[in-house]
Amino acid sequence: MFRFFENLVDPYQPYVEQDAPPTRLWPFLKDYVQPFKSVFAVTALFSVGNAVLDVGLIWYLGRLVDLMTGQTPAAFMAAHWVELLVVAFVILFVRPLVAGGSVGLLHNTILTNFGTMMRWRAHRHVLRQPVGWFESDFAGRIANRIMQAPPAAGEAVFQVFDMAAFAAATFIGALLMLFEADPRLMVPLLLWVVGYIALMRWTIRRAGPASTAASDARSAVTGRVVDSYTNIHSVKLFAHQDSELNYAKEAIEKSRQTLQTEMRIVTKMDVALTFLNGLMIMGVGGLALWFWVQGSATVGVVAAAVALVLRINSMTYWIMWASTNLVQNLGTLAEGMQTIAQPITLVDRPAAKPLRFQDGLLELRDVSHHYGRGFGGLKNISLTVRPGEKIGVVGRSGAGKSTLVKLILRFYDTESGEILIDGQNIGDVTQESLRQKIGMVQQDSSLLHRSVRDNILYGRPDATEADMIAAAKKAEAHDFILTLEDPQGRTGYDAHVGERGVKLSGGQRQRVALARVILKDAPILILDEATSALDSEAEAAIQEALYGVMAGKTVIAIAHRLSTIAAMDRIVVLEDGQVAEDGPHAVLLRQNGLYARFWARQSGGFIGLEEDAAE
């Protein structure tokens, strides 16, 4: 039975992705509601059915009191035993069946699947964002919004049916019941409804902004705490534990203050509701009692009216709490939409096709990119890397080396000019096909918090075990991998490396990253300080392996240690975002320009940045 309800909606069903989702709440939710439309309709019917049965039982209580008044038990049973059996059947079988259907749809279909579907789609959307988007926010805050907003949306939908439909049907049923007993009994209840709606409106108008502020404050706390944990080495190295505590305390205190504001609203609402409900009980119950005294109402009417208002009294607290909770959840969702509804700023063009790789000719034609600032980055750079050619790229910090790599990988679109591979503008091909043809080892090799095997196979998931081990051996990583063991007792290639690979040394991380790229075997290879974290002996061994891997590939190698790129076919020197020099190592030395000065002044093979910057 559970699986029937759980499988009514597939949260992972195909859908049309939007590059620019709606930024208003209800249009945003519309696409998520579509797969649940039929379920919502049936759930509403069950909720109404539940309310009708509840009010019906109260109505029957009044009838039962009237039937029992003025006749002996034997006469009562003789006249009404069939009716009592029907009522018993409704209570024992019909009511549980309706309640079971309602609960099954709410808990097992909607609550479990709606939030799951939204979280899945939100994660897909966020993963499509460009690298620059992630660089502009806390990873912790992004993750917090992905984790909080979808369940809040699911809870909001749950509350609509569990509270709104049930409450509406209950109030309508109560009014009809009182009308049938004595239309005058409707007056105090209608006046109460007006006051209740006014109180609810007051609460919602204040609880919404307060909830959004509280949710945003909680996300800020998460962002700051995760930032400290992620950079724990720096925290410990600089002995800044106290300052990190103060940094977090500032956000935690703001979160406490926003929660206090929210709770003050709830307290005021609760006190006002208690007074309002007292007026309702006295109004309806007292009026019914007065009618009985006057002889215009039966005992059954009094009993039913009192039971009804006591039922509504207990229900109103739940409805108000559920309404406030609904608004809070909508506030959390609205805050989460600041992340999950942001448009994708770098997308495949409508007619984009997979890259048709032929030889590996790479061309930059009058390319400029300044990250929207008007300065920095690259300025009108033109560069050609022939198929199979290996070039080194050098320059001071800020010369544009990283920008060059990010543009080739299309982490950003060029602001002007174009980049072509085998004559195809990389803006006209799919991003996935472009990056499948490029292998890259970065200076800061970040690994996934998974096993060594998973990290290496990330380069080519369908590779065999033998291929993976061969790549590790080429990267001089196999021997140390066999000695690894994590706290859970997993060893060798099954050992987990920790978040960002923190359980490995810098050199070990770099070698695993090299193995991953070696396994990928992409025809274009980018090396960004690929051996910077290695000692001289390991660097020499891996450098030899890299030269073997470079064979037949188009290679761009960025380095400060000039000895690692001296044997390249050409060396490109960047200065202020432009190509200052271009040629083989020996030719550049004879020119006695920037490269020659770098070479002459390097210490231990590194560019003398400080000396050059001082000139």
CATH, residue 284: 1.20.1560.10
Highest mean pLDDT range out of 200-204, 341-345, 441-445, 543-547? Answer: 341-345
Residue-wise pLDDT tens digits, 464-489: 999 999 999 988 889 999 999 988 89
Residue-wise pLDDT tens digits, 220-251: 888 888 888 878 877 887 788 888 899 889 99
Mean pLDDT score, 126-154: 82
Tokens of 345: 């700023």
- Helix-helix angle 506-520:536-550, to 10 degrees: 10
Q: Residue 427 domain-assigned?
A: yes
Mean pLDDT score, 135-163: 79
Whether residue 40 sits in one domain with residue 167? yes
Whether residue 81 sits in one domain with residue 43? yes
**Taking 90 as the threshold, does the pLDDT of residue 410 lie above it?**
yes
Q: Residue 217 domain-assigned?
A: yes
Q: Place 604 in a pLDDT band, splitting at 50, 70 and 90.
A: very low
Q: Residue 610 domain-assigned?
A: yes
Q: Tell me the C-alpha distance between 526 and 109, whole Å.
A: 48
Q: Residue 605 domain-assigned?
A: yes
Highest mean pLDDT range out of 83-92, 216-225, 307-316, 332-341? Answer: 83-92
Of the ranges 153-162, 475-484, 587-596, which one carries the lowest mean pLDDT score? Answer: 153-162
Whether residue 333 sits in one domain with residue 367? no
**Taking 50 as the threshold, does the pLDDT of residue 267 lie above it?**
yes
Distances (CA, A) of 78 to 62, 64, 72, 89, 90: 20, 14, 10, 18, 20
> DSSP strand E in 335-409: where?
362-369, 378-385, 390-394
Whether residue 369 sits in one domain with residue 297? no
Residue-wise pLDDT tens digits, 5-45: 999 999 999 988 888 888 888 888 888 888 998 998 898 88
In three-state secondary structure terms, 415 is coil
Mean pLDDT score, 159-168: 72
Q: What is the pLDDT of residue 132?
A: 81
524, 439 Cβ separation under 8 angstroms: yes
Q: What is the pLDDT of residue 465?
A: 94
Whether residue 360 sits in one domain with residue 328? no
How many domains are contained in the chain? 2
Whether residue 170 sits in one domain with residue 276? yes
In three-state secondary structure terms, 121 is helix
Domain containing 214 equals: 23-340
Tokens of 566: 């001296």
Whether residue 385 sits in one domain with residue 426? yes
Q: What is the pLDDT of residue 541?
A: 66
Q: Tell me the C-alpha distance between 112 and 151, whole Å.
A: 9
Among the candidates 274, 309, 340, a domain finishes at 340
Return contacts of 366-373, CB within 8 angstroms, 24+ apart. 366/416, 366/417, 366/418, 367/407, 367/414, 367/416, 367/417, 367/418, 367/419, 368/414, 368/415, 368/416, 368/417, 369/403, 369/407, 369/412, 369/414, 369/415, 369/416, 370/415, 371/132, 371/403, 371/412, 372/415
Whether residue 334 sits in one domain with residue 395? no
Residue-wise pLDDT tens digits, 430-453: 999 999 999 988 877 778 889 999
Indicate which CATH number applies to the domain containing 386: 3.40.50.300
Total residue length of the chain? 615
Among the candidates 308, 340, 372, a domain finishes at 340
Whether residue 180 sits in one domain with residue 103? yes
Q: Which of 126, 601, 576 is nearest to 381 (CA)?
A: 576
Q: Residue 197 domain-assigned?
A: yes
2 or 506, higher pLDDT: 2
Instruction: Check residue 561 and report its DSSP letter.
Output: B
Residue-wise pLDDT tens digits, 492-543: 999 998 877 778 887 788 889 889 999 999 999 998 876 665 666 666 666 7
First-to-last alpha carbon distance for the chain, in angstroms, is: 79
Whether residue 302 sits in one domain with residue 366? no
Q: Tell me the C-alpha distance between 223 and 255, whole Å.
A: 13
Q: Residue 544 domain-assigned?
A: no
- How crowded is residue 7: how many other Cβ atoms within 10 Å of its Cβ? 11
Q: Which of 415, 404, 334, 336 is nearest to 374 (CA)?
A: 415
Whether residue 373 sits in one domain with residue 303? no
Q: Residue 180 domain-assigned?
A: yes
State the virtual CA torsion across 70, 76, 79, 85 in degrees, nearest 10: 140
Instruction: Check residue 495 and report its DSSP letter.
Output: S
Q: What is the pLDDT of residue 335?
A: 77
Among the candidates 286, 309, 340, a domain finishes at 340
Name the strands in the sheet holding 390-394, side by side, starting at the edge strand that comes first in the sequence. Answer: 438-441, 524-528, 554-558, 390-394, 570-575, 578-583
Whether residue 166 sits in one domain with residue 83? yes
Q: Residue 111 domain-assigned?
A: yes
